[in-house]
Structure 1
Amino acid sequence: MAATRLKEVAAFARVSVKTVSNVINDYPHVSADVRRRVQDAIKELNYRPNLAARALRSGRTGLVALLARDLDTTCLPGLTGHVIRAASAHGLRVAVNPFGPGTRATIPPGYADVSLRVDAALVDADLISHARLATNLTAGTPVVVLGETSHAHYDHVHPDAAQAARDAVNHLVHTGRRHIAAIGARSDTDRRAPHPYTLGYEQAVHRAGLRPAIGFLQTTTDTRHEDGYRAARNLFAQEQRPDGIFCYDDRIAIGAIRAAIDIGLRVPQDVAVVGVGDTEEGRYSRPTLTSVCVDVAFVAREALDLIATRLGFGAGPPVRLVAPHAVLPRESTGPTG
């Protein structure tokens, strides 16, 4: 079906094309009644501005920055590709940039560094308070945060991380585990504000009537395999050894499984492990990894829809959208025995 044109919106609202353009560009001199009629027509006809054409007229770049601490993050695997495809559907391009120290991402060919002027930005929740953002983004640039933060004035698209953690821990409980640990709390941030995974883990073990041993919540500095390995070895050295581990990332989980195998533990018979991300690595590991799967396509699609709305129709009340998730049981959490 052909896209709705501006003159069709004008005819439906019984106004001129110029008036529709004024409403879309949020000009202040349009009366409330006319503005309402135009907005109703836009909604009824599902009109979307041609952002590429508008960029030529307005001097916009048509670029959206994707700013992430680690573009290889497994919590949202394949995010970059989904964002590029969702942006393309709106006539936008993506400037991809791994942001912050220690990033290991590979930037796809043909995509620019964020030092170029951009029209909007998708920002990893871990970075939204980063000082460098002030120098990279001009005032008024639309921003959509990917993840949960307390910054109420931004649009957000994120999984319900606390509920995801509760679901993961409940899965371990239902498979017979009673000594459940967690790996992945960030040592540099959880002292100030616990990660939603930490809150969900603590809530779930409490509701199950469990009392984790001291040291069962292991912090890490990153989400690498070696972080999971090192934290799991700490857990296995304790007098009370866990029989289940919830890891905040699939890479952490795979490192934890390796640590268990290296000291002669069987997975899942002696210790069960759950990760987050549903990565390809986890699906083909031995044992295959039980993991929390987040709908990454939903995150990318809804984030770019919000960007397109902000670029097309101006500012509005901040929006929060929650992405679906599910626990996918595999061999790493089979029944005890």
Structure 2
Amino acid sequence: MIGVAARPRIKDVAEYAGVSPKTVSNVINNFEHVSDKTRTAVQEAIDALGYRVNIAGRQLRQGRTGVITLAVPELDVAYFAELAKHVTAEADRRGRTVLLHQTGGVRERELAALHGFGAQFSDGVVLSPLSLLPRDLATRDRRLPVVLLGERSAAGTTDHVGIDNIGAAREATEHLLTRGRRRIAVIGGSVRGRQGTDRLRTDGHREALASAGLPFAEDLVVPVRAYHWQDGARAAAALLDRPEPPDALLCLNDHLALGALRALHEAGRSVPGDLDVMGFDDIEASRFSVPSLTTVAPDKEEIARSAVSLLLDRVEDPEPGAPEDLVAGHRVIVRESTGG
């Protein structure tokens, strides 16, 4: 038995198997022109010595780090935490490590992911932006692959993965309309400003009303400071104080919806008796609230899988090609808050 170092090297495997280091490399890289006998001998040597491929060393020789950055606004918002879990799992499956960066939705921190540590330590960046301007992405360093999630801050200039926000909100409103609801408030919506997620989902809501022959009431669109529990609770409480309160709440994320449920409970309103409540994102908490929350469920696994795949395609083939805009699936999940 030959002596080997604490961490076996390719030459140790070659000596054990009685072949050249080049042959061992060919087996490890699954080259076709290796006989079955030689492949078996090399694999037995690998197993006997406990050899492991030094992925980091290989990637550094190729000018890569094996690290990708995931930059999201808030990790304590369940949607982003769940998305990060799926991105990390997909990256791990592809032999990559994920560096998480919390931007707080602040433009300077989003820029840092593109021009600071992101460019220095990562092979590419998956970014969910809230504050970047179109020119920020149009003028970025093209040598760093970037895939956007959610916001389409630079349509046509950067790879993007998201859901059909207009279609999803239209389907959500249609569900509430089939329940006989007519005064549907949109918590977290927007009728002005750039075409962000809030505006797109409000537009989908408007389309559903128009298709049903119903007027769009701008005063029932309630912007929020942030998309947190307390913002949903405050918005719902304010709506209940109106002379004509709504009969349904379409909340543009589940945190807002769960906060609204609490405010309705404290006001003595029954859900879904007095009002229907609907959310977006299908976070885990939505299945365990009382009542359980009807919500739009984006396919988070598909979003993660598509984003990582797009990014690594750019990393491995840096020749510029037309940016891709991939649309992941979604579905409405009906639960107790709308009579499910």
* Alpha-carbon distance in 2 for matches of 1:146, 1:242: 32
1:100 aligns with 2:125: no
8 Å Cα contact 1:260/1:266 also seen in 2? yes
Letter of the 1:78 partner, please give it.
E
1:261 matched to 2:268? The reply is no
Give how far 1:57 is off. Answer: 1.4
Pair 1:289-2:254 in alignment:
no
CA-CA distance at 1:150 after TM superposition: 4.7
1:72 maps to which of 52, 67, 76: 76
1:267–1:287 CA contact under 8 A, matched in 2: yes
The TM-score normalised by the length of structure 1 is 0.75
Among residues 139, 143, 156, which one is paired with 2:146 in the alignment? Answer: 143
Give the structure 2 partner of residue 170 of structure 1: 174
Change (3 A) 1:88 1:128: farther
Match of 1:210 in 2: 214
Q: CA RMSD in A?
A: 2.9
Matched to 2:173, the amino acid is V
Contact 1:245/1:274 (8 A) holds in 2: yes
Asked if 1:124 is matched to 2:128, the reply is yes
Structure 2 CA distance for aligned equivalents of residues 144 and 129 of structure 1:
15
Which of 185, 191, 215 matches 2:193? Answer: 191
Q: Distance in 2 between matches of 1:310 and 1:61?
A: 14
Q: Distance in 1 between matches of 2:31 and 2:183?
A: 65
Residue of structure 2 equivalent to 1:109: none
Unaligned runs of 5+ in 1: 10-49, 103-112
Q: 2:94 aligns with which of 67, 90, 101?
A: 90
Q: More helix per residue: 1 or 2?
A: 2
Cα shift at 1:70: 1.4
| 1:328 maps onto 2:330 in alignment | no
Look up the match of 2:253: 249
Specify the SS of the correspondent of 1:185.
coil
TM superposition score normalised by structure 2: 0.74
Query: In structure 1, how many angstroms separate the alpha carbons of the residues matched to 2:157 and 2:246?
Result: 41
Shift of 1:299: 0.6
The CA deviation string for residues 282-325 of structure 1, in whole angstroms up to 9 with x for no partner, is: 11110110011111111111111111111111231111111111
Q: Is the contact made by 1:272 and 1:333 (CA closer than 8 Å) also made in structure 2?
A: yes
Aligned-pair distance for 1:191? 2.4
Aligned residue identity for 1:267: V
C-alpha contact 2:118 2:124 (8 A) present in aligned 1:
no
Indicate yes or no: 2:42 matched with 1:59. Answer: no
Kept after mapping to 2: 8 A contact 1:77/1:296? no
Measured against aligned partners, the alpha-carbon deviations of 1:34-81 in whole angstroms (never above 9, x if no partner) come to: xxxxxxxxxxxxxxxx98665221232111111111123344551111
Out of 302-311 and 72-81, give the one that drifted further. Answer: 72-81
Partners of 2:133 and 2:193 lie apart in 1 by 17
Out of 226, 236, 242, the residue aligned to residue 238 of structure 1 is 242
| 1:201 correspondence with 2:205 | yes
Aligned residues with identical type, % of pairs? 37
Between the aligned partners of 2:312 and 2:56, the Cα distance in structure 1 is 11
Q: Which has the higher contact order (CA 8 A, sep 6+)?
A: 1
Instruction: Check 1:233–1:192 CA distance in 2 against 1; reply closer, same or farther (3 A cut).
Output: same
CA–CA distance in structure 1, aligned partners of residues 224 and 249 of structure 2: 14
Contact 2:137 2:153 in 1 (8 A): no
Q: Given the superposition, is the C-alpha separation of residues 148 and 134 from structure 1 closer, same or farther in structure 2, using an over 3 Å criterion?
A: closer
Partners of 1:4 and 1:209 in 2: CA distance: 65
**Deviation (angstroms), 1:231:** 1.0
- 8 Å contact 1:186–1:220 — kept in the other structure? no
Question: What displacement does 1:96 show?
Answer: 0.2
State yes or no: 1:318 paired with 2:320.
Answer: no
1:233 to partner: Cα distance: 1.6
Tell me by how many angstroms 1:235 deviates: 1.4
**Structure 2: segments with no counterpart, 5+ residues:** 1-26, 34-53, 107-116
